[in-house]
Amino acid sequence: MSSFQDSRVLVVGGSSGIGLATAAAFLAAGAHVTIASRSVDKLQAAARSLAMFDETAKRLPVGRVGQPEDIAQAVLYLAGNTFATGTVLLCEGGAVLV
């Protein structure tokens, strides 16, 4: 079996069924898992069931995972700053630092 320790995995459709089971399997194998879903409610329920954000938050310098409001604030900052052109703003809570 391959080692997924510290690998980054995206599971599209990871809020239920096979996708949720796949996300859980990757978490158990030591991967950093991101799940995507069309339903915010199902996504939040899946994240709670996996407790995936607890471990991620502990590893981030900011001590928590991002919320939609964090991204919205970053977009507003860029939209309102006339000096920033062609800017890429990382909204990852310091994840690239760890």
Sorted by sequence, the CB contacts under 8 Å of residue 91 that are 6+ apart come out as 66, 70, 71, 74
Backbone angles phi, psi at 11, to 5 degrees: -115, 105
Domain layout of the chain by residue ranges: 1-59, 61-98
Residues 53-78: pLDDT tens digits? 777 778 788 888 777 778 788 888 88
Q: Is the pLDDT reported for residue 98 higher than 80?
A: no
Rounded CA separation 66/43 (Å): 14
pTM: 0.54
Q: Is the pLDDT reported for residue 46 higher than 70?
A: yes
Eight-class DSSP state of 46: H
pLDDT at position 49 is: 82
Of 73, 31, 72, the residue nearest 52 (C-alpha): 31
Element (H, E) at 8: strand 8-12
